[in-house]
Amino acid sequence: MANEEIIGSSFVGATERPFKFEGNHFKRWQQKMFFFPTLKKCAYVLKYPIPVVPDVPTDASASGTKEQPVNTNGQTGSAAEPDKGKATAEQFKENALQIEKERQLWIDNDYVCKNYIINGLEDDLYDYYRTYDTANDVWEALSKKYDTEEAAAKKYAVSRYLKYQMVDEREVF
């Protein structure tokens, strides 16, 4: 626990950040960059979507007054249990309030994470990727573009290696 508190509150200086990504060595940059949102405990926004706050129902729909069951003594369900509908509505409102707090925390952490990522980009890439809405959108767009480019480059290098043939006329150094 003490380590988590130290790591979570530590200051990340500009000298400790990874190199600016210019379009080369994406996997290395991505792995180094993922450390910083993790350090600030906001990397979860790259994996989980924004929490959705449910609609708070009106009092009539929360208590279920459309059809009320009748007890054996002839009383309706709402008269026999007057606080049950209110308790459910209050619990629903508390739950909605909790989810709204989580949503706001997610929005704040998404802002921090997105800016960590785009500030780790070279200026031309920064100008392009700053228009994305969320950190996850930026992260996925970068992964989609540069993972495929690196895979294609590796595939080309491997195919050249496999096509290499030794010939008597060429010297081997």
| Residue spans per domain, the chain | 2-163
Q: How far is CA 122 from CA 12, 65, 105, in A?
A: 19, 60, 28
Write the pLDDT tens digit of every residue in 12-49.
454 466 678 888 888 889 999 999 899 989 999 999 99
Residue 21's DSSP bridge partners are: 121
pTM of the model: 0.62
Dihedrals phi, psi of 58, to nearest 5 degrees: -75, 170
Write the pLDDT tens digit of every residue in 114-169.
999 999 999 999 999 999 999 999 999 999 888 876 666 676 667 777 677 667 77
